[in-house]
Every structure is written in structure tokens, then in C-alpha cells.
Amino acid sequence: MENYIINTYNKTKMQLQPEKIEIMKKYTPRGCPFNNYTMFDLLIDFINMYSWKLETGRTYSIIEFLNALNDIKAITYKNFYIELFEEG
């Protein structure tokens, strides 16, 4: 499985395809007031904020992870990530 998150006891690890990272770094979240803040930064922030919701030792796809969130920002930007990670 590519593009996944594993939550271990000590930390959360993420594995992403380099081309997906580059695509995310080209886009800025709409209305974002921060300079140089990208969709990649937003994904990292979601993982840092919500990794506690993940079962320890289980592997999650990025889409599976985002679908589990009820945060309004995650819901707002989820379609961007779904299109990116489902396209293959």
C-alpha cells in the first residue's frame, strides 16, 4: 500500500509517494492567511492533531484517515486529497 499512515506506540509514521508530495506543495488552502503554507503542510497538521484517534499498530490509507475526521477543515479539503490519492 502506498500513501499510508501507521500509528505506533511512540510516534506516527507517514509514507507518501514523492510525486504526491510535490503536487500538494503546489497548492495553498483557500483563504489561508499564512505565507508558504501548502496542502502538504495542512495534511501534516491533520496527522499531528488527530493521530491520537488512530489505533496503535494499524495501517491507514490517507483517505481512510481523512474520512475518520470530523474537523470542519478536514471535511472542507477532503475532496482535494481524495482526488489526489485515488487517481493512482
- Domain range holding 45? 4-86
Q: What is the pTM of this model?
A: 0.86
Helix (H, G, I), strand (E, B) or coil at 16: coil
User: In sequence order, what are the residues at sequence separation of 6 or more whose Cβ sits closer than 8 angstroms to the Cβ of residue 3?
Assistant: 15, 16, 17, 20, 61, 62, 85
Task: Please give the tally of structural domains in the chain.
Answer: 1
The reported pLDDT for the residue numbered 1 is 60
User: How large a percentage of the chain has pLDDT more than 90?
Assistant: 33
The reported pLDDT for the residue numbered 11 is 86
Helix (H, G, I), strand (E, B) or coil at 38: coil
pLDDT tens-digit readout, 1-41: 689 999 888 888 999 999 999 999 999 998 888 989 999 99
The reported pLDDT for the residue numbered 88 is 55
